[in-house]
Structure 1
């Protein structure tokens, strides 16, 4: 019998210890996550290439002006490598508010991080939606108030071109040293365009140094686009345009 009492006593201590480390959702009434997302870019700024971590919080309750903070935990190495961080701390404390008369509650809190490496928007989407790559937490001191795995990804920018998979695109085979040198200059000398008045299906593709590109050639202009980033396009210099035309004519 003493062994049974001792076992019950130990279990009680364990439960007390766990409850001291974690606040169950709803214990602080009215403070919880309504929705969360990771967003890429901005509809208002075409040059925005940042990841935006956002959470909408219901923050009214019985505890007057309870202070809490928000953090985003990056679980996926691919995402953390893109932004150079594994945890995003929002150190600004927020306070719960009394319930307004109109019943409208909630606030959106977010943190933005620039992407510091080359990226594939589809890989980011896959990581967020399928791998549960990011967790958002609300916490007070050392206690977690609420947490959620983010599975919603939004791309707030339209790609410059949507490729028709059924269209015929001719591949330029860079199988000679001089061609490789020419196309390396093409890539390095090209200039990023802030906008473009029109764009059609690309006629050519080429692969260079483990990267693949679309290529547009007209009589007076040429453009390239990294297949991994259909949100940016680069204009060829006049000398590059001339050399590319010569390579195409040789083929």
Structure 2
């Protein structure tokens, strides 16, 4: 009887131990991909207009001496169309490595792609955060080691101006040929401004062809901004400023 009791205790302890190991394995597995994100622009470079795909990996949740590669799979057609690819492969091959005292090694890696078509940040953010648009995978040949949906979007470049879409700006209707010519010339002759961190709320809007613009006009200067790119602003030439003001005064 005593031996049966000891056997039961042993079996119970074995199941508890196996359960603890399983939970620990699941915990470690969750630590392989610590975080992942899609980011627009760079805090270090205000001229950056690329999408950056980032992942932070913790070696401690993987097998010892495990070689693996990293890729981002673009599942959303709109995002893949913007960057003209459906997959981003990180060229490096990584190998798990434990540091002294069995400390984990953290790796941050990823890839970047130029945005090749018109876009809005709010639209990209909505797709990334809600539509399971991007998958990050760690893999070894045909075996997937870990994968997760990327749901974090970061905007590293803040727009120069944030306009309420419901705001009522004065819209300049260009009907006459000479007016269209003046505003077309104003756009083509404008110069990109550098180092601008903030701009006041725009006064006017106008449209040419399929594009729309914000317009600022004061006594001494004029500025324009494409409504699809609120991160860049252009200054009007002196001659264009004079002509544009004349058109506005007539309106």
The TM-score, its normalising length taken from structure 1, stands at 0.82
Is the 8 Å Cα contact of residues 172 and 204 (structure 1) preserved in structure 2?
yes
Partner of 1:53: 53
Q: Where in structure 2 are there 5+ consecutive unaligned residues?
A: 1-24
Partner of 2:76: 76
Partner of 1:226: 226
* Mean Cα deviation higher: 189-198 or 208-217: 189-198
Give the 5 Å matches for 1:109-148.
109-148=109-148
Instruction: Name the count of aligned residue pairs.
Output: 226
Is the 8 Å Cα contact of residues 97 and 104 (structure 2) preserved in structure 1?
no
Residue 60 of structure 1 aligns to a residue whose secondary structure is helix
* CA RMSD across the alignment: 2.3
Partner of 2:67: 67
- Greater helix share, structure number: 2
Paired with 1:226 and 1:102, the residues of 2 have a C-alpha distance of: 53
* Mean Cα deviation higher: 116-125 or 59-68: 59-68
Once the two structures are TM-superposed, the CA of residue 120 in structure 1 deviates from its matched residue by 1.2
Deviations 1:199-243 (A, max 9, x none): 211111112212221101111211101112111101111221111
Question: Is 1:203 aligned to residue 218 of structure 2?
Answer: no
Question: Is 1:101 aligned to residue 101 of structure 2?
Answer: yes
Runs of 4+ in structure 1 over 4 Å off: 28-31, 102-105, 164-168
Paired with 2:209 and 2:130, the residues of 1 have a C-alpha distance of: 30
Question: Is 1:237 aligned to residue 234 of structure 2?
Answer: no
Is the 8 Å Cα contact of residues 61 and 99 (structure 1) preserved in structure 2?
no
The TM-score, its normalising length taken from structure 2, stands at 0.82
* Mean Cα deviation higher: 132-141 or 187-196: 187-196
Paired with 1:197 and 1:178, the residues of 2 have a C-alpha distance of: 34
